Chains A and B, each alone.
Chain A
Amino acid sequence: MATVVQIVFGLIAALIVGAAVMVVTARNVIHAALWLIASFFGVAALYMLLEAEFIAVVQILVYVGAIAILILFAIMLTRQVTGEGVRQLTERWWVSLLVAVSLFAAVLVPTLLNHKGWNLPALPATANATPELLSGPAELGRGFVYEFLLQFQVAGVLLTVALIGAIVIAFEERSRRRRVLTLAEEHALNQDAARRQTAEPGLKITAVTDGE
């Protein structure tokens, strides 16, 4: 049983770290966002392994369902060249690589040097020992309305402020808005331009904009 859990943990860890490396190195931003979704799924599986089922479901709902989709929308709204030839990292990326690697080493080296055996609790002696009590969503909800009530309310206020702020920041006045053509209008425009092109060659095709 323990071996199976260890193998599953190894696979999940490989998925999380591999997908995260792909997120920061992928040349195409859309591919990076899809790898980010894979990494989020790996983290949710790790929560399942850590017996935090509610957090795993929340992870899928909020990260994969909302944040990843929001990121994909932002990529598509700020459409520009994201092809293979475009430089995706800053000029001095090796400095940040140095910072990240040295931070990881600073965390890891003292841990490994002061290591005195893995700190595992002993297995229960008999097969029918009392099972370990775990706190679930009921305790979580009780914590929200008793101990962490103030933090809960502040989180609600924060969400409202962020919602209003996002609307205010991304708002665009109607007079400055560019009109986006529907597919049918664009097709009709192209047909019209092609007809005029054949009628009198040398005419420039101009795009129609509204409210400029």
Chain B
Amino acid sequence: MTQAIPLEAVLVLAAALFCIGLFGALSRRNMVGVLMGVELMLNAVNINMVAIGRYLEPYPYVAGQTFTIFIITVAAAEAAVGLAMIIAIYRTWLTSNVDSVDSLKG
């Protein structure tokens, strides 16, 4: 594996995934779409962690994979709270578009 694919190729793939997720998080109107973009960005970070751990860490150390698991935990918590907020907002405003919920606008 490490002899066939350079580390840079995996990192460029993760960067592409991160930028696609950033575009989705910034430009989607639906709140669930924004959340999906954020999930893509978190996945890109996880790919980076695993790849750098695989290529550069010596044998008994597992910091890359450990922090991947922590990021997955945080992503699960974030998805649960975010979707609960989407449902609460939908109940009040009867919409799930980010540009319709602007009562905090000055």
Contacts and interface: CB of A to CB of B under 8 A. Distances in A.
Interface residues of A, number: 87
Interface in A117-132: 118-121, 123
Given A24-B27, A50-B10, A151 B5 contact: no
A208 interface: no
Interface in A57-106: 58-59, 62-63, 66-67, 70-71, 73-75, 77-78, 80, 82, 87-91, 93, 95-97, 99-101, 103-104
Contacts of A121: 2-3
Do most interface residues of chain B lie in helix, strand or loop, or is the interface mixed? helix
Given A32-B33, A90-B99, A99-B22, A158 B87 contact: no
A139 interface: yes
Given A67-B75, A101-B19, A159-B73, A90 B62 contact: no
Contact of B73 (A5, A55, A155, A165): A155
Do most interface residues of chain A lie in helix, strand or loop, or is the interface mixed? helix
Contacts of B29: 87-90
B88 A169 contact: yes
B26 to A, nearest CB: 3
Contact of B15 (A108, A123, A162): A108
Contacts of A93: 27
Interface string B62-101: 1101101110111111111101111110110001101100
Given A40-B43, A80-B95, A55 B17 contact: no
B13 A17 contact: yes
A163 interface: yes
A166 B27 contact: no
Contacts of A16: 13, 17
A123 B3 CA distance: 7
A104 B61 CA distance: 31
A49 B1 contact: yes
Contacts of B69: 55, 58, 140
A104 B36 contact: no
Interface of A: 1-3, 5-6, 9, 13, 16-17, 20-21, 23-24, 29, 32-33, 36, 39-40, 43, 46-47, 49-52, 54-55, 58-59, 62-63, 66-67, 70-71, 73-75, 77-78, 80, 82, 87-91, 93, 95-97, 99-101, 103-104, 107-108, 111, 115, 118-121, 123, 133-135, 139-140, 143-144, 148, 151, 155, 158-159, 161-163, 165-167, 169-170, 172
**6 cross-chain pairs, A with B, having the tightest CB-CB distances, nearest first:** A24-B24, A162-B77, A96-B26, A100-B23, A5-B4, A170-B84
5 contacts: A5-B5, A23-B36, A70-B83, A90-B29, A119-B7
